[in-house]
Amino acid sequence: MILSLIIPCYNEEKSIPLFFERTERVRLQLKVDFEYWFIDDGSQDQTLSYLKRLNKQHEYVHYLSFSRNFGKEAAMFAGLQVSTGDFVTILDADLQDPPEVLIEMVEKIGLENVDCVAARRMNRVGEAYLTSLGSKAFYFLMNKMSRTPVVDGVRDFRLMRRQMVDSILSLTESSRFSKGLFTWVGFSTEYVSYPNEQRVSGSTKWKFGNKIRYAMDGLINFSEIPLNFVTYSGLLMVLMTILAIIVLVIRQLFFHHSVSGWTSMVVILLFCFGFTWLTLGVIGKYISTVFLEVKKRPIYIIKEKK
């Protein structure tokens, strides 16, 4: 039995030594053959040279280096593609996914009818209040709007059987939202909980804008509700406008009401324009997703592999 570990790394020179040391301890404890796949996502620091050193020292440590930063989703996809183990797990390099949890995961996946064991954070201790609130709102919306539910607090950290990994690989869409894809492919998933951990060193690679984009990707790729909302409310607007036109014409013809009060006029105009822009934005988001998908660009480009 081989267990493949996929570790997306973006500027993690300080975290990798700590990560490797702690994970090696887990390996010795588990007595399972490990196959490390570090995916260097176009780091600008010494990440790659450190990975090269590890690769020289241990024959079970492999790395893959991208030609530029393609994002964690692309790194995870590349890792799943190159992994060969019967079981595969994805971990962050910053030790926010404690490797010790793997022990419990391996135990659980040995059970019958379990294809995947996913880690779940019990709390969000140490996270900024606004970030927590934003995440909560996102999971709420996602679960209300999409038929592919995503459990709050769930991470990309999970242990999967080969069969599930192959199913995920069969989904080749370029705008990837893995948390949705994991659920979409089905299979039975068990959860293990652990308290939130701070990253060991360096800082998060997520800017506020990245988070918004990530949430958008999740919603747009797994829900048609925004599009339906736009269509129906557009229809409602048109019907209301027709009604208003009839009323206004009758009023003008029979009661000779002179037009007064441009305030109401301006308010209506502003509302209509605002609404149109919002509508165009939502539709545009879907079109851009289609556009990217149609181009069939590769999800990542490899510069080096060993």
DSSP string of 277-300, one letter each residue: HHHHHHHHHHHHHHHHHHHT--S-
Q: Number of residues in contact with ligand UDP, rule: CB under 6 A?
A: 17
In this chain, which of 60, 206, 271, 273 binds ligand UDP, going by CB under 6 A?
A: 206
**6/93 Cα distance (integer angstroms):** 9
Q: What is the strand order of the sheet 2-9 is part of?
A: 189-194, 116-121, 154-161, 87-90, 2-9, 33-40, 61-66, 302-305
Give which of Mg ion, ligand UDP, none residue 222 binds (C-beta under 5 to 8 Å, depending on kind).
none
Per CB under 6 A, the segment of 131-139, 179-187, 203-211, 251-259 that binds ligand UDP is 203-211
In this chain, which of 3, 4, 5, 10 binds ligand UDP, going by CB under 6 A?
A: 10
Q: How many CB atoms lie within 10 A of CB 86?
A: 13
**79/73 Cα distance (integer angstroms):** 10
**99/66 Cα distance (integer angstroms):** 25
**170/188 Cα distance (integer angstroms):** 18
Q: Does 41 bind ligand UDP (CB under 6 A)?
A: yes
Applying CB under 5 A, the residues found at the interface with Mg ion are 92, 94, 96, 199
Q: Which two tokens mark 267?
A: 């308010």
Q: Does 97 bind ligand UDP (CB under 6 A)?
A: no
For Mg ion, which is the closer residue by CB, 201 or 231? Answer: 201
Q: Does 94 bind ligand UDP (CB under 6 A)?
A: yes
Q: Which residue blocks in 31-126 are alpha helix, DSSP H?
A: 47-57, 72-82, 101-109
Q: How far is the CB of 241 from ligand UDP (least distance, A)?
A: 45
In this chain, which of 3, 5, 6, 9 binds ligand UDP, going by CB under 6 A?
A: 9
Q: Does 124 bind ligand UDP (CB under 6 A)?
A: no
In one-letter notation, the amino acid at residue 240 is: M
Q: How many CB atoms lie within 10 A of CB 154?
A: 18
In this chain, which of 108, 205, 213, 285 binds ligand UDP, going by CB under 6 A?
A: 205
Q: How far is the CB of 204 from ligand UDP (least distance, A)?
A: 3
Q: Which two tokens mark 129?
A: 């209040």
Q: Does 199 bind ligand UDP (CB under 6 A)?
A: yes
Q: Does 96 bind ligand UDP (CB under 6 A)?
A: yes
* Contacts (CB under 6 A) with ligand UDP, residues 50-89: 69, 71-72, 75
The strand pair at 61-66 and 302-305 is best described as antiparallel
| Interacting residues with ligand UDP (CB under 6 A) | 8-10, 12, 41, 69, 71-72, 75, 92-94, 96, 199, 204-206
